[in-house]
Amino acid sequence: MAKVFYYPLAIRNVVDNLFKSPSIAIKITCFFWIITKFICFKLWFSSRFFPVVSAFEYLQNTPAIVHVFLFYSSILLMLLLLFFSDSKVLLSLLIIIEICGCFLDVLRLQPWEYQFIFILIIYLINKKNPRNLYSVYIFVFACIYIYSGLHKFNGGFLRTIWDNLLLKRFLGINRSSINIYWLHYLGLCIPVIETLTGIALLFFKNKKIPIVVLIGMHIFILFFLGPLGLHYNTVIWPWNILMICFLLLFAFNNCILNLKPLFSGYNVIILTLWGLFPILSFVGLWDSYLSFSLYSGNLPHVDICVEQNHENKKLELYFSKTDKRNICNGDARIPINAWALNELNVPLYPANWYFIKFKKVWVEKYKTLDAKFLVYTYPYKNRKEIR
């Protein structure tokens, strides 16, 4: 691929050596990881309005200084890894710190955080064998596209993402045109293309076509959600650029998938967590975010209904100005996903077990407020109260 570009031989040699070094994957990841963390920096601290929900109850009251220490330690380690990418000690410390941070607040386990941690783990396992390393990376990236595509085959994606977000808000198409049968169902082309290109990335020997298509998809996402588009969910902008960088890395090194490494040693863990367990998400036995259900339109929403009085003044910033579905029957409504996006710049972790923990922590934090927690998914008719 490098021969396509014509530039001085000295520069070409530097570029070739840089992109053929397996450690470039760590440098790229750490660079965009730092940017991502600063975009959502409030997420990594405990002094905020949005409740910190720990994975285990005994971690719930962890001192604020621990959160601060983990955040700045991770940033320091990432900066060091930009220069010392082969250091097992630095890589191991960063993995441990990030896992600890996610235990202290489950909301931090965003899809990009999960992926970044495993990029480091995969590198540690396979750094001595670049062919195995790239094979495992290709497998992981292919799984992201395949499962992300499969999760979009539902009415929620067509109605909320395709119709409302893309056609109406982004393209400005009016509602009567959107309701046209063929235009509505044309949105299914997106999951079809995403799933098929993921499969092609996995099995095609010549990966040029799927790589070009996927890069085009990420460029469109950046334009669609970026500053020239809806200016929405800014935390995923660097993640999309990172995905493009890795796809170029696969193309530059003419990577070919070899499935054998996935069935040996610690790589079996990667095969299980990325290839097999996400299948369970379709029957509710594995978390959607760990299965890369991204912009699928079928993830659960949670609203808090509270009485409007002087005791909840500090939460008024996160009240919804509208309640078209009359969810709260006249009480103030706090859409938790919007709250998380507004304050922390990340969406809500979409899992029922997390919602139960969230309610418990919220009730403890805001003891004087009488609240009702409602969870619902598309088509938003069957609302259940979280007990």
Domain finish residue from 232, 256, 291: 291
**What's the pTM value of the predicted model, to 2 decimals?**
0.92
Domain finish residue from 236, 270, 291: 291
245-300 pLDDT, tens digit per residue, is 999 999 888 777 888 899 999 999 999 999 999 999 999 999 999 999 999 998 99
Residue 367, pLDDT above cutoff 60: yes
Mean pLDDT of the chain: 90
Q: What is the CA radius of gyration of the chain?
A: 22
Residue 38, pLDDT above cutoff 50: yes
Q: What is the pLDDT of residue 324?
A: 65
More confident call, 244 vs 301: 244
Whether residues 182 and 282 share a domain: the answer is yes
Q: State the pLDDT confidence band at 21, using cuts at 50, 70 and 90.
A: confident
198-212 pLDDT, tens digit per residue, is 999 999 988 999 999
- Report yes or no on 228 lying in a domain: yes
Degrees, nearest 5: CA angle 138-143-147: 160
Could you give the CA distance from residue 147 to residue 158 in angstroms, rounded to a whole number?
17
88-102 pLDDT, tens digit per residue, is 999 999 999 999 999
Q: What is the pLDDT of residue 323?
A: 66
DSSP string for residues in 301-350: EEEEEE--SGGGGGGGGG--S--TT-SSTTSEEEEHHHHHHHHHSS----
Could you give the CA distance from residue 110 to residue 70 in angstroms, rounded to a whole number?
17
- Report yes or no on 28 lying in a domain: no
Q: What is the pLDDT of residue 19?
A: 63
Whether residues 317 and 264 share a domain: the answer is no
CA-based nearest residue to 188, from 297, 299, 300, 350: 297
Q: What is the pLDDT of residue 3?
A: 47
Whether residues 177 and 281 share a domain: the answer is yes
Block residue for tokens 């509710």: 284
Whether residues 262 and 141 share a domain: the answer is yes
85 neighbors 23 (Cβ within 8 angstroms): yes
- Report yes or no on 133 lying in a domain: yes
- Report yes or no on 363 lying in a domain: yes
Q: What is the pLDDT of residue 1?
A: 45
Could you give the CA distance from residue 132 to residue 125 in angstroms, rounded to a whole number?
9
Could you give the CA distance from residue 268 to residue 261 in angstroms, rounded to a whole number?
8
124-168 pLDDT, tens digit per residue, is 999 988 889 999 999 999 999 999 999 999 999 999 999 999 999
- Report yes or no on 134 lying in a domain: yes
- Report yes or no on 120 lying in a domain: no
Block residue for tokens 């977000």: 165
Question: What is the span of the domain harbouring residue 344?
Answer: 301-385
242 neighbors 275 (Cβ within 8 angstroms): no
Residue 15, pLDDT above cutoff 70: no
CA-based nearest residue to 37, from 238, 298, 290: 238
**Residue 170 burial by Cβ neighbours in a 10 Å radius (0-12, 13-18, 19+):** middle
Whether residues 135 and 260 share a domain: the answer is yes
Whether residues 276 and 308 share a domain: the answer is no
More confident call, 315 vs 216: 216
CA-based nearest residue to 33, from 83, 71, 89, 88: 71
Q: State the pLDDT confidence band at 376, using cuts at 50, 70 and 90.
A: confident
Q: What is the pLDDT of residue 243?
A: 97
Q: What is the pLDDT of residue 131?
A: 87
Which has the minimum average pLDDT: 10-19, 114-123, 146-155? 10-19
375 three-class SS: strand
Query: Kind of pairing, strands 332-335 and 371-376?
Result: unpaired
Q: What is the pLDDT of residue 173?
A: 93
Q: What is the pLDDT of residue 294?
A: 92
Domain finish residue from 266, 291, 316: 291
- Report yes or no on 208 lying in a domain: yes
Which has the minimum average pLDDT: 27-36, 77-86, 174-183? 174-183
Whether residues 146 and 282 share a domain: the answer is yes
Q: What is the pLDDT of residue 4?
A: 45
Q: What is the pLDDT of residue 5?
A: 45
Q: What is the pLDDT of residue 9?
A: 53
Angle between helices 189-203 and 130-150 (to 10 degrees): 160
Strand partners, 303: 335, 374
Domain count, the chain: 2
**Residue 140 burial by Cβ neighbours in a 10 Å radius (0-12, 13-18, 19+):** buried
Whether residues 183 and 254 share a domain: the answer is yes
Whether residues 237 and 335 share a domain: the answer is no
More confident call, 311 vs 376: 376
305-362 pLDDT, tens digit per residue, is 887 766 667 788 888 877 666 778 778 889 999 999 999 999 999 999 999 999 999 9
Q: What is the pLDDT of residue 58?
A: 94
- Report yes or no on 319 lying in a domain: yes
The torsion angle over the Cα atoms of residues 52, 57, 59 and 64, rounded to 10 degrees, is 30
Whether residues 170 and 270 share a domain: the answer is yes
Whether residues 277 and 352 share a domain: the answer is no
